[in-house]
Amino acid sequence: MVQRPDLHTDDLEIRDRILHGDRAAAELLFERHVETLYEFVYFRAGSDVASAEDVVQDTLLVAIDRLADFDGRSSLHTWLCGIAKNKLRQLRRKRRPVPLDDLLVESDGEIEAILSRVEREPLPEAVLEAKETEELVGATLSSLPPGYRAALVAKYVDGRSVPDMASESGKAVKAVESTLFRARRAFGRIFTLLAKGQGGPT
């Protein structure tokens, strides 16, 4: 998906502030990204808490060290996930992987392709409320951009209405509906990809 040049202006401002020694900006980066980064890493590290925490810590250390390389062509979240993937590859070389993290790593290219096409692809059958394992649902959610994940959790886990979500976020109802539509579509396609990979229902 082609990004607008100004799409990640805030990320670039945080980068510049950190590079100029602003500790508050470094704390802001941590607060904004550590939770979603951990979710992204957790299932790819075999659902191992200690390994996931180590990968996240190493990722953030590398990110701070290489922050000047971040050019804003992607979001900071995407850039951080890219560093995390390299750390996960190093982790996988040190131990025998379990099936789900194997599948996630092998499917990352397809997941990225799904997310890049999500605004053009037709909506698949909804799977958010299917009686599947928490692990597979969690792995799918961890693969989504933070905005999509937050919208799905608010709607289907917290049970919030679309008007309430719009009011809380300061967005129009139509904008929230559009985000939910794209988020459900991305979730459905990624869930189906992972379920097929585990030999589950198609």
pLDDT of residue 198: 67
Co-location of 144 and 166 in the same domain: yes
Domain total for the chain?
2
Same domain? 79 vs 153:
no
Whether residues 88 and 176 fall in one domain = no
Residues 123 and 200 occupy one common structural domain? yes
Separation between Cα atoms, residue 61 and residue 77, nearest integer Å:
15
pTM: 0.59
pLDDT (tens digit per residue) in 125-179: 444 444 446 677 888 888 888 889 899 888 887 888 889 998 888 889 899 899 9
pLDDT tens for each residue of 84-101: 999 988 877 765 544 576
| 11 and 82 housed in the same domain | yes
Same domain, 74 and 41: yes
Cα distance between residue 20 and residue 1, in whole Å: 31
Of 82, 97, 112, which residue constitutes the final position of a domain?
A: 97
Checking phi first, is residue 97 left (phi over 0); if not, alpha (psi -120 to 50) or beta?
beta
pLDDT tens track for 4-55: 334 466 889 989 999 998 889 889 989 989 999 999 999 888 888 888 999 9
Confidence label for 108 from pLDDT (cuts 50, 70 and 90) = confident
Q: What is the residue whose two structure tokens read 């917290």?
A: 158
Same structural domain, 140 and 195: yes
Residues 125 and 74 reside in one and the same domain: no
Say if residue 202 is in the same domain as residue 116.
Answer: yes
Same-domain check for residues 81 and 119:
no
| Residues 78 and 144 placed together within one structural domain of the fold | no
- Tell which of 70, 97, 124 closes a domain: 97
CB 192 within 8 A of CB 178: no
Phi-psi region of 78 (alpha: psi -120 to 50; beta: other; left: phi over 0): alpha
Among residues 97, 120, 136, which one ends one of the domains?
97
* 69 in the same domain as 34: yes
pLDDT at 63: 92
Query: Angle at Cα 177 formed by Cα 174 and Cα 180, nearest 5°?
Result: 155
| Alpha-carbon distance values, 135 to 99, 110, 142, 198 (Å) | 12, 19, 10, 12
| Per-residue confidence band for 191, with pLDDT thresholds at 50, 70 and 90 | confident
Residue 115 pLDDT greater than 90, yes or no: no
The confidence score (pLDDT) of residue 97 equals 45
User: What is the CATH number for 43?
Assistant: 1.10.1740.10
Host domain of residue 156:
98-202
